[in-house]
Structure formats: C-alpha cells, structure tokens
Amino acid sequence: MSGFTPSEMMTIAAARALKNDDVCFVGIDAPSAACNVARLTHAPDITLIYESGTIGTAPSVLPLSIGDGELCDTALTTVSVPEMFRYWLQGGRITVGFLGGAQIDRFGNLNTTVVGDYTRPKVRLPGGGGAPEIAISCGQIFITMKQSRRGFVEKLDFITSLGHGTGGGDRQAKGVATKGPTLLLTDLAIWEPDPGTREFTVTSLHPGVRREHIVETVGWEPRFAETVGETPAPTAEELEVLRDLHARTKAAHSGA
C-alpha cells in the first residue's frame, strides 16, 4: 500500500459504513476514530454515544477513555450509566455498536476475558465490560480488528460477546432478535456474514492485499465471496480529516 497505512484504511472503511441517521455506541481507539471521521465528513448528524453516558458528543480530539472530560464537555447531554444501558441500549434505541476483542472466531463471537484455560489462564484480559450487552442489544454490530493468527482463531478460549454463535440460526434460537455482527473491518479486508451459514466471508480486499495475506493471518480456512471487490482507497479528504484528528489528539494529550 502507498500513501496510507493499513490502520488508516481500516478506520476509513469503518467510517464509510456509518450513515448520517445512525445512533452509534462508540468504542475507544479505532472505533472512536472511525465514528468521528464519519461525523466530520459524510455523516454530520450522526449521534455518537459513549458508554459513560454521553449522548450526542462531538469531541475535537479522541478521548483517552470513556471517562475523558472531552466527551462530557461536547455532549448534548449526559445520563447515568444505568440509564444508558437500561433505557438507551436495552431499549433498542442504538442502531450500530462497535466492538473488538483479543480473539474472534469465524462466526463473529468475541473473547475479551481470558487466553487459555479459564481457571489457569495464560493471560487474563480486561473482561466484558458492557460488550456482552452491546453485542445483543444494538441493531447491528461492526467489529474492527487487525488480522493475526493469534486473534483470528478456530476456537475461542472464552465467549465474552455473542456473535452468530455456532452459525446459521443459532443467535435467534438463543432468543436474540438483533442482527448481530454485520461487518468485520480489518487492516486487510472487509468481511460480511454469509446469509445462510453466518460465517464471515471476505467480500472486499484492501488495495495491495492478496488472498494469500488473508490465509496467512487467519486461524481457520477463510471463505471468499464469489466476487471479491477491492476497497476504494482513502480519499484525500478522508485522510486529511483522520490525520488532523490524530494530530490534534496527540497535541492535546501531550500538553501542547
């Protein structure tokens, strides 16, 4: 790739997936960057909600955490965390939620709990937080993750957040009516669930990425759509907005 990084491509691809009328439950880092790039480009009326209870926030710099004062300062209003989850999230008022994880499987189930055996883990991760509720209560879920065999695994060590379960109609059989993960946006490709099996399938490769790169970075045999497209490269405007956002963030957090 020339002119932009894989991370920039992933962030911009995620931003493009958002619509002007979305109500979006935002995560920190890449999801936060994607949502704010969307707000600053094609989706100025998008409603961004962070887990700390800030609604309609419009940060000028990316927050360090959900408790960053920038979120409350720029929000239309701030509600309590119980209200955020009970009324907004579980009430079905959020159209898109962003998630990521330490591990993902082919059906979009996510692990943020432990690596290895639960009782004697190799690594103990931060845990679920609000992710399990976000996974089942938002209208649909977008997942952003960098591809690696360590993260894209055949079998999760622990299921923290439900994706499509064991595939097919398993999610609905568990009584979950929302769509679940509809997009997986990585540094190499865009994946979408197969309509029947719900297994994530590569539908678009980012510029310069070959199928071999996908196979090398996934712990299962990946599926490719019958027609695999090429993700449009970031525009000059998209890159300028993203880079300016990161530059302002770096300056603010360094005390400049």
DSSP state of 187: S
Catalytic annotation present for 51 = yes
The CATH code of the domain at 6-253 is 3.40.1080.10
Q: At a CB cut-off of 8 Å and minimum separation 6, what does 145 contact? A: 100, 101, 104, 151, 152, 184, 186
Any idea where the domains of the chain sit in the sequence? Answer: 6-253
Q: pLDDT tens digits, the chain, 256 residues: what are they?
A: 459 999 999 999 999 999 999 999 998 888 999 999 999 999 999 999 998 999 999 999 998 888 888 899 999 999 999 999 999 999 999 999 999 999 999 999 999 999 999 999 999 998 888 999 999 999 999 999 999 999 999 999 999 999 999 999 999 999 999 999 999 999 999 999 999 999 999 999 999 999 999 999 999 999 999 999 999 999 999 999 999 999 999 998 887 5
Q: At a CB cut-off of 8 Å and minimum separation 6, what does 119 contact? A: none
Among residues 8, 51, 133, 238, which one is catalytic?
Answer: 51
Which of 37, 35, 38 is closest to 26 using CA atoms? 35
Tell me which amino acid residue 21 is: D
* Distance, first Cα to last Cα, the chain: 32
